[in-house]
Amino acid sequence: MLDNIDDKNIDWDKVASRLDGDLTNRDFTPEELRLLAAEREMKVRLAHPDFPVQDGWRQFGAVRNKHRIFRIMRLAAAAAVVLAFATGVWMMQRNRPTPPQSEQLANAKPSGKVQLKMGDGRSVELGEAKQTIRQGSDVQITAGGTTLAYTSGAAKGATVKMDTLVIPRGLQFTLQLSDGTKVWANSMTTLRYPAVFNGATRDVYVEGEAYFEVKANAAQPFIVHAGDNQLKVLGTAFNVNTFDVTTTTLTSGRLLVAAGGQQRQLEPGEQTVYRNGTLDKQTVDTQPFTAWKDGDLLFYDASLAEITRYLARNYDYDFEFNDTSLEKLRFTLDMPRPASLQVALDVIGKGLDISFSVQDNTVRVSKKEQAKL
């Protein structure tokens, strides 16, 4: 996996900063992603009861604690040794031709496009090409790649219709609202918001999953409507997810969550869960709930059913289980989100001793013994 990496396509300082926990740089080459995935996979494999942690992790940890200039240059070699020790035949198979399934997943592109449906009736498909859209005489929308930004003049009092941003399976998008609030929208998410906030409150609506960094304005509270939940904020960063039950996870600031006639005030590191008419509050590690925004796949002791539901949304594939008992298998997954679904499936398959096969747009999950029949 690592001995085929072209060093010319790796910025070692950038990789080093990521390994040290710096998440500010999210643009990585395929080679850098493979290196980071290998480092993350080693952590997962080292947690396996059959892996000799004392010897293997000592080798890898010693390398990471060296001075940065020498540490990263030695990382690929050290990682290759540990990976070969951990996975056995994996390194022996490096020269085999890529199977058709891997090629299919590696080259797959999401079938849908991001849609911006404007309040004036126009609908615009957003893609890689940069474009500028005018809304009336006072609003300008700038779109490019995976971002959308609103800027507006000083018009006040005018009635503003709602715009709708629709993100399909397999894509993520970043939106900057006219007040400066930033929103990260995950796959299969719909956002509704005004082009200009002219009312007493700033109201937006979300279905799916989104992370908000709200621009503070005490005179005009920001309110997020998520299913039956209303989230009232002044200057706050939080994640909201409405896919199964509605969960709201606060990372900074303060947040008032209201649902079903109940209210809960959140402090950083707290979360509300609204289920069957009850609004509960609990203390959580926020990272698993916000990792998607930072370009990571992160699950702690999660069921395979939960992980594959997420992968289905984020890679535009369906999953079918040949044996429903496999859905209950639990796994820890911690890696940079790869461009190819195949990379994630390889890590999960080795960790759980299961097999994935692809037909059209469906991934079938089987025990390895079943896959051989």
CATH, residue 340? 3.55.50.30
Neighbours of 292 (CB within 10 A): 21
- Are 125 and 149 part of one and the same domain? yes
Neighbours of 152 (CB within 10 A): 20
Q: How far apart, in whole angstroms, are the C-alpha atoms of residue 238 and residue 231?
A: 10
- Are 270 and 317 part of one and the same domain? no
Q: How many secondary structure helices (H) and strands (E) does the chain include?
A: 9, 24
- Are 13 and 77 part of one and the same domain? yes
- Are 155 and 284 part of one and the same domain? yes
Q: Specify the DSSP class assigned to residue 111.
A: S
- Evaluate whether residue 100 is within a structural domain: no
Q: Characterize the bridge pairing of strands 222-226 and 202-207.
A: parallel
Domain boundary among the residues 93, 127, 146 is at 93
- Are 278 and 311 part of one and the same domain? no
- Are 244 and 119 part of one and the same domain? yes
Q: Over its length of 373 residues, how does the chain's per-residue pLDDT go in tens digits?
A: 444 455 556 666 666 655 554 444 445 665 666 566 656 555 544 444 444 445 544 444 444 444 333 333 344 444 444 444 343 333 333 344 445 555 556 555 677 899 999 998 999 999 878 899 988 778 899 998 899 999 987 655 566 789 999 999 999 999 999 999 999 999 999 999 999 998 899 999 999 999 999 999 989 999 999 999 999 997 799 999 999 899 999 999 999 999 999 999 999 999 999 999 999 999 999 999 999 999 999 999 999 999 999 999 999 999 999 999 999 999 999 999 999 999 999 999 988 889 999 988 899 999 987 544 4
Contact of 74 with 63, CB cutoff 8 Å: yes
Burial of 256 (0-12, 13-18, 19+ CB in 10 A): middle
- Are 303 and 347 part of one and the same domain? yes
- Are 331 and 354 part of one and the same domain? yes
Contact of 240 with 273, CB cutoff 8 Å: no
Containing domain of residue 79, as a range?
Answer: 7-93
What does the pLDDT read at residue 320? 96
Reported pTM = 0.72
- Evaluate whether residue 108 is within a structural domain: no
Domain boundary among the residues 289, 320, 337 is at 289
What does the pLDDT read at residue 92? 33
- Evaluate whether residue 1 is within a structural domain: no
Indicate the SS3 state at residue 172.
coil
- Are 231 and 257 part of one and the same domain? yes
- Evaluate whether residue 232 is within a structural domain: yes
- Are 122 and 260 part of one and the same domain? yes
- Evaluate whether residue 2 is within a structural domain: no
- Evaluate whether residue 190 is within a structural domain: yes
Our count of domains for the chain comes to 3
User: Which residues are CB-contacts of 211 (< 8 A; sequence separation ≥ 6)?
Assistant: 183, 184, 237, 238, 239, 240, 290, 292, 293
- Are 132 and 256 part of one and the same domain? yes
Domain boundary among the residues 263, 289, 315 is at 289
- Are 343 and 303 part of one and the same domain? yes
- Evaluate whether residue 66 is within a structural domain: yes
N-term to C-term CA, the chain: 28
